């Protein structure tokens, strides 16, 4: 079958005319899909289908101990290790403490850093050294 496309039609109208065969929804309604892969007549039917046919099963809620504060908390996420964002950030700040003292190449002040290539104490010194 050859598809004849009139010159005055827009791409949207062409797609619409290709899909215009009626389909039967799972609820029993006949509908005209606006996409070739559309399976449901509306969002409610789609949501109902996926709620009843979902392969996702909720995991059991288990009690874990927070690695930062030691308080117990309930979760269904097997990877969660902290009870809240505050504890996570506290742990990250401890883990990422500045490890060594260095001397700024521009001003001569000492500063702490954990980055292996940092040579200047702040942005101003870096810009000053670059422009010199």
Q: Residue 39: inside a domain, yes or no?
A: yes
Question: Tens digit of pLDDT per residue, the chain (132 long)?
Answer: 454 545 555 555 545 545 457 888 888 899 988 888 888 999 999 988 888 877 767 778 999 999 999 999 999 888 999 999 999 999 998 887 667 899 999 999 999 888 889 999 999 999 999 997
Q: Dihedral angle at the C-alpha atoms of 60, 63, 66, 69, nearest 10 degrees?
A: 150
Give the range of the structural domain holding residue 15, as residue numbers without chain letter.
Answer: 11-52
Tally of domains in the chain: 3
**Residue 19 resides in a domain:** yes
User: Would residue 3 count as lying in a domain?
Assistant: no
| Three-class DSSP category at 102 | strand
User: Does a structural domain hold residue 57?
Assistant: no
């Amino acid at each position: 079958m050859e598809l004849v496309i009139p010159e005055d039609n827009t791409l949207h109208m062409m797609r619409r005319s290709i899909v215009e065969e009626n389909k039967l929804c799972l609820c029993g309604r006949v509908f005209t899909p606006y996409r070739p892969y559309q399976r449901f007549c509306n969002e409610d039917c789609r949501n109902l289908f996926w709620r009843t046919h979902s392969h996702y099963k909720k995991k059991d809620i288990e009690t874990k101990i927070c690695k930062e504060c030691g308080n117990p908390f309930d979760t269904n996420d097997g990877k969660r290790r902290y009870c809240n964002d505050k504890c996570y950030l506290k742990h990250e700040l401890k883990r990422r403490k500045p490890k060594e003292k260095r001397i700024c190449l521009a001003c001569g002040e000492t500063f702490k850093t954990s980055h292996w290539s940092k040579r200047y104490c702040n942005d101003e010194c870096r810009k000053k050294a670059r422009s010199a």
